[in-house]
Structure 1
Amino acid sequence: MEDRHVAAVALAGDRAQALFGVFDGHGGKGAVEFAADNMPRIVAEELERSARSGGRAAVEGAVRRAYLRTDEEFSTTSSKNREQAGGGACCVTALLREGGRQLVVSGAGDCRAVLSRGGRAEALTDDHRASRQDERDRIEALKGGLVLNCRGVWRVQGSLAVTRGIGDAHLKPWVVAEPETRTVDVGADCELLILASDGLWDKVGSQEAVDAAAASSGDLPAACRRLVDMAVSRGSSDDISVLVVQLQRRPLR
C-alpha cells in the first residue's frame, strides 16, 4: 500500500483554513511518505510568505512553490538517505480558505479532485498522463525526452505512465512537480469535494462518485467506504484512497 492522505485542519493554527490531500506512490514509499508528512508544513510556510501580497494569484503561487519545494526537499533528503530514496508520488490537494468560502485545488499526476455542485459532478483537475497530447509535446520538446507506447500505454522514456509528481529523480527533467491549480468560490450549491487516487477513478465515474457519496447523507466515513467498495467490486486491484470533504454544515442530500 503506497497511498497516503492528509487532513490538516486549522493549518498553521489558522482555524479559517485547512489542507486536504491524497498522495499515490509508485516505485517505493519514500516519496509518498515524504510528501504526506511535509506538504502541510511547506504549504503553511509558503502561505505565510505570500500573506502580504494577498489575492488568488498569490495563494496559487504559494501552493505551486510548495509542490516544487516538497520535490526539492525530498530530492535532497533521499540523496543522503538510501532508505528514503526512490519512487515518486502523484498528488492532489485542496486548500480550503476564508472559513470554507474558497477552494484552491492543485494536482500533479493522476489523483483527481471532483466537486459536487448542485448534485452535478465537476472535475477540478486533469490527469497528467503520457497519453495527454500537451504533456507528450512538453516532454518531447526537452532534450532526450521520449514518450513511447508500450502495449497500449503511453509511458515517459518507456517507463512511467504519469508525467508529473513528487520524486522520480531518474526521469527528470521530463517528469516535473509543477502542479496545475485552480481556485473555486464555494457557494451554497457546492456540497462536497472528493479527492481520490486513480484506484477509484479508473473504475468509478465522477458523477457516479458524487451520487454515491451524497447517498450517504452526511456520513463521510460511510461515503468513503461506499466508494472504495464500488471500485473493488468492479475489479480495481490498485491502491485506493478516498477523502470526502463536506463543504456545507447542513447534512448532504
Structure 2
Amino acid sequence: MSKNITHGFHCLKGKSNHDMEDYVVSDFTKKDDRELGLFAIFDGHLGHDVAKYLQTHLFNNILKEHDFWTKTEEAIKRAYHSTDAEILEKARLLGRGGSTAVTAILINGQRLVVANVGDSRAVICKNGVAKQLSVDHEPSKEKSMIEKRGGFVSNLPGDVPRVDGQLAVARAFGDKSLKIHLSSDPDVTDEMIDDDAEFIILASDGIWKVLSNQEAVDTIKNIKDAQMAAKVLIEAAVSRKSKDDISCIVVRFH
C-alpha cells in the first residue's frame, strides 16, 4: 500500500426490519507490477445476495479484461455487463433482488477510475471543494429511456419516482423482473490524483439523501484518520434522521 494513502470504512444497519443489505470492498492489491486500490459500495435491495455476489466477483471480472490497462473505460463497462448477466443467470439462487454499485480503482496512486450504476456516489475533495465523480441514476432523469423500453415511472404523492412503481433507481445489477426496463450501463469517470487531491468519499445513498457533497466534505476535512472520518460521516447522516443502511469509505491522500 502506498505510504501516503490511507483508507478506512464504516457501515451501519438502518432502521428497517430486514438484514443489512450493503457490502463494501476497501483494499489494495498488485497486478502486473502496478499497485491498485480497489474501493466499492454495493447497496442491495430486496435482499443482500446480489450485493454480496458483487463484492466477491465484480473486481475479479474487471481485472480479467484483457485490455484493462489500454482501454480501461471499455473494459469496466464490459465487466459490469458480464457480471449483471451472471447475476441474472443465477436469479434462482440469488433471488429477485438487485444492487446499486459505485466502484473506484486507484492506479499507482495517480489515476482514479470511478464507475457506477444507481445512486451510491463518489465524491472527491480538491483544495476543500467537493466534486462529484459519479452519476445518480434517478428514474425521473431517465424517464424517456425507461419508457422506450416499455416501462413507466410513477411518482405518487409523498413518494419518490420509481421504475414500474417499484424501484427508486433507473440502473442496477439484478432485479430480473424489472430488467427489461432497467439498465446496467455504468457511467465511468477518469480523474487524475494531483497535489490538490485531499480525499475521496464513496457512500451509499443513506448519506447523500441528507448531506450535500460539500457538506460531507466539510464534515470530515480536518479528520486525518480515514476510518474515523467514515464513522463521523455516518454519524452526521444519522443525526439528520437518515434511516437507511449506510456504508462509507474514505481514502485520504497525504
Same fold at TM > 0.5 = yes
1:205-216 alignment runs, 5 A limit: 205-216=212-223
* Greater displacement, 12-21 / 112-121: 12-21
What SS does the aligned partner of 1:184 have?
Answer: strand
Instruction: Report the counterpart of residue 52 of structure 2 in structure 1.
Output: 33
The structure, 1 or 2, with the larger RCO (C-alpha pairs under 8 Å, 6+ apart) is 2
Q: Is the 8 A contact 1:109 1:164 kept in 2?
A: yes
Q: Which residue of 1 aligns with 2:67?
A: 50
**Residue 155 in 1 paired to residue 162 in 2?**
yes
Structure 2 matches for 1:101-180, cutoff 5 A? 101-132=110-141, 135-142=142-149, 144-151=150-157, 152-180=159-187
Tell me the secondary structure at the aligned position of residue 50 of structure 1.
Answer: coil
Q: Which has the higher strand share?
A: 2
Structure 1 residue 42: deviation in Å?
A: 0.8
Distance change (3 Å), C-alpha of 1:86 and 1:235: same
Among candidates 84, 95, 98, match of residue 71 of structure 1? 84
* Secondary structure in structure 2 of the residue aligned to 1:42: helix
Query: What is the distance in 2 between the residues matched to 1:146 and 1:131?
Result: 10
The structure-2 alpha-carbon separation of the partners of 1:138 and 1:222, relative to structure 1 and needing over 3 Å to count, comes to: same
Q: Which runs of 4+ in 1 moved over 3 A?
A: 11-15
1:203/1:72 Cα in 2 relative to 1: closer, same or farther (>3 Å)?
A: same
Contact between 2:28 and 2:37, CA under 8 Å: does it hold in 1? yes
Pairing 1:86–2:122 present: no
Contact 1:8 1:40 in 2 (8 A): no
State the Cα deviation string for residues 168-201 of structure 1 (Å, max 9, x = none): 1100121121100110111100111100000011
TM-score (norm 1): 0.88
The code of the aligned residue for 1:90 comes to T
Aligned residue in 2 for 1:189: 196
SS at match of 1:164: coil
Post-superposition shift, 1:13?
6.9
Residues 217-232 of structure 1: pairs in structure 2 closer than 5 A: 218-232=224-238
* 1:153 aligned counterpart, secondary structure: coil
Deviation at 1:8, TM superposition (A): 3.1
Identity %: 39
In 1, the alpha carbon distance for the partners of 2:75 and 2:246 equals: 28
8 Å contact from structure 2 (residues 110, 194) kept in 1: yes
Q: CA deviation digits over 1:5-44, x for unaligned, max 9?
A: 1023115475522211001010111211111111121111
Deviation at 1:150, TM superposition (A): 2.2
Structure-1 separation of matches of 2:33 and 2:62: 13
SS of corresponding position for 2:181 = coil
SS of the residue aligned with 1:9?
strand
1:14, 1:183 → 2: CA distance? 21
> Which secondary structure does the structure 2 equivalent of 1:62 belong to?
helix
1:128-171 Cα distance to aligned partner (Å, 9 max, x none)? 01121xx11111112x2211112342111111110111101100
* Structure 1 residue aligned with 2:109: 100
Structure 1: which 5+ residue stretches go unaligned?
none
189-198 or 153-162: which moved more? Answer: 153-162
**Structure 2, unaligned runs of 5 or more:** 1-19
Which residue of 1 is the match for residue 14 of structure 2? none
| Alpha-carbon distance in structure 2 between the residues aligned to 1:13 and 1:101 | 16
Counterparts of 1:227 and 1:71, CA distance in 2: 30
Q: CA deviation at 1:2?
A: 0.4
SS at match of 2:185: coil
Kept in 1: contact 2:91–2:176 (CA 8 A): no
Q: Does 1:204 align with 2:211?
A: yes
**CA pair 163-14 structure 1, distance change in 2 beyond 3 A:** farther
